Amino acid sequence: MPLSKFPGCPVLLVDDDEDLQRGYAYALRNDGINNLVQCTDARLVAQRLAEEEFEIVLLDLNMPHISGRDLLPMIVQHHPELPVIIITGVDDLQVAVQCMRTGAFDYLVKPIEEDTLLAAAHRAIEVREMRRENVMLKERLLAADLAHPDAFQGIVTKNPTMHALFRYVEAVAGTPQPILITGETGTGKELIARAIHRVSGREGAFVPVNIAGVDDTVFSDTLFGHVRGAYTGAVEPRKGLIEQAAGGTLFLDEIGDLNAASQVKLLRLVQEREYFPLGSDIAKRTDARITVATNRDIDAMKRSGGFRDDLYYRLRSHQVRVPALRERLDDLPLLVDHFLEKAAQGLSKKKPTPPRELFTLLSTYHFPGNVRELEAMFYNAVSTHAAGILGLDTFKEVIRTEPAAVKSELSSSPFDPKGPLPTVREAEDLLIEEALRRTEGNQTMAAELLGITRQTLIRHLKKAGKRD
């Protein structure tokens, strides 16, 4: 599959010297900047800029008919968002200062080294992208409605935080920069990655890869492929998944598990947009958009040396944090209905009716497995359901057997370490009060939380009443 055009809008080359034009174009295309428009007649520049949007302009200073000095203020006035890189054969400090004061982005003196030209072009493209992103962010974050609601149809939510996340995704999805998606296990990070791909409008495929626990050889072979004879058993060349993602999105899940050697290769892929198949010393280029996800604290890994600083900052050009289910419990009614319907269809059963107590019970749970765990709960419950109202036994069993480590991690002591300890009766009253608060006064559910019978709870409440 041929590489898609980069950048999205073309780079305009303006120089009356056709040989130099060809040299610039060759160097830029060889580095992946392949969306170019060449112009050797300066008199046509104003018309071209009026008819088409460009990413940047490379402008020769000394040309017949209209000089770059005359064109520069016109471009700055009518297209102030457009970075202009001045190219000249005259090494004159006063001219350079005047051009920069007029609004030029950069000033290059011939003969221009290829690395210098490419560095200036990439800087200008990045600045243009940042300006465009800032405008999009303002527009999308202030917008009441989504511009691409269909892209998020697979995510069931009415939560304001989630909808703000969707608007942010719409603002950054069109850029070629990497996106880092963080969040606990089961929050739906891959769903967000797929939504990013759909909003981006990229014509290539969405290619997901889970890299948890893979060594460097497997990582390299899976992503980059190999040439014949790269290792024992490699009798035929093999294309990697990065080629399948050409013009599309490569999604790397569990990026926090990547070892040091693989991190170096991924850094080159992200930074240089090139890679080496196993056994080859010839680099290949890619235009695939890189999106990564992790459930680990990658910032802490960076500080401890477990994750490269340079790769971390490259990957988090944009960052999306997917909230845990316990942070969006207002979505429970929607999710319950959705998963009941899905489970019933999957198991060829009639959709059960959920009891009112179910929502109260679920709202007391921390959901360490998040939305994925909730879905599994409903498949389990519906699979054993016969008819009528859905039973609560399977849900109670999960909540009752929640690992103690999770409970201790998510809970904090209710006692002030500097204050006096409450008496047993006072602690008892506090526990009962908290259980009733969490269950919105439902005595049966409160008793379940406390591990006692409803009759025992009623006796405690009567005693507390007498004490009052």
**Do 266 and 337 fall into the same domain?**
no
- Residues above pLDDT 90, as percent of the chain: 63
pLDDT band at 467 (very low <50, low <70, confident <90, very high): very low
pLDDT of residue 468: 44
- Residues above pLDDT 70, as percent of the chain: 93
pLDDT of residue 453: 85
Task: Give domain status of residue 442, yes or no.
Answer: yes
CATH number at 106 reads 3.40.50.2300
Domain termination residue (choose one: 323, 338, 364)? 323
pLDDT average, residue stretch 416-425: 70
pLDDT average, residue stretch 228-239: 89
The domain in which residue 107 lies consists of 11-134
Task: Give domain status of residue 6, yes or no.
Answer: no
**Do 335 and 432 fall into the same domain?**
no
**Do 330 and 264 fall into the same domain?**
no
**Do 183 and 278 fall into the same domain?**
yes
CATH number at 389 reads 1.10.8.60
pLDDT average, residue stretch 2-8: 73
Task: Give domain status of residue 398, yes or no.
Answer: yes
Average model confidence (pLDDT) for the chain? 89
Task: Give domain status of residue 91, yes or no.
Answer: yes
Domain termination residue (choose one: 297, 323, 349)? 323
Query: Would you say residue 405 has pLDDT above 60?
Result: no
**Do 49 and 129 fall into the same domain?**
yes
**Do 299 and 447 fall into the same domain?**
no
**Do 227 and 165 fall into the same domain?**
yes
**Do 38 and 121 fall into the same domain?**
yes
Domain termination residue (choose one: 323, 356, 382)? 323
For the chain, the domain total comes to 4
pLDDT of residue 145: 84
CATH number at 449 reads 1.10.10.60
Q: Residue 278 pairs with which residues in a beta bridge?
A: 226
Residues 311, 263: Cα–Cα separation, whole Å: 7
**Do 376 and 454 fall into the same domain?**
no
| Most confident stretch, 182-191, 222-231, 278-287 | 182-191
Task: Give domain status of residue 450, yes or no.
Answer: yes
Lowest mean pLDDT among 237-246, 347-356, 382-391, 410-419: 410-419
pLDDT band at 418 (very low <50, low <70, confident <90, very high): low
Task: Give domain status of residue 372, yes or no.
Answer: yes
**Do 314 and 332 fall into the same domain?**
no
Task: Give domain status of residue 5, yes or no.
Answer: no
Residues 381, 343: Cα–Cα separation, whole Å: 9
pLDDT of residue 411: 55
Task: Give domain status of residue 4, yes or no.
Answer: no
pLDDT of residue 1: 46
Residues 247, 5: Cα–Cα separation, whole Å: 9
Q: Which amino acid is at 295?
A: N
pLDDT of residue 371: 96
Lowest mean pLDDT among 33-37, 124-128, 238-242, 423-427: 423-427
CB 244 within 8 A of CB 201: no
CATH number at 159 reads 3.40.50.300
CB 371 within 8 A of CB 365: no
pTM: 0.75
pLDDT of residue 402: 66
How many helices (H) and strands (E) are present in the chain, helices listed first?
A: 20, 14
CB 380 within 8 A of CB 344: no
**Do 155 and 285 fall into the same domain?**
yes
**Do 318 and 332 fall into the same domain?**
no
- Contacts of residue 256, defined as CB under 8 A and 6 or more positions apart, other chains included, come to 294, 295, 296, 298, 301, 307
DSSP class of residue 185 equals T
Please report, for residues 133, 155, 209, 459, the alpha-carbon distance to residue 182 in angstroms, rounded to integers and kept in the order given.
Answer: 21, 16, 16, 47
Lowest mean pLDDT among 122-131, 272-281, 392-401: 392-401
Query: Would you say residue 15 has pLDDT above 90?
Result: yes
| 3-class SS letters over 414-444 | CCCCCCCCCCHHHHHHHHHHHHHHHCCCCHH
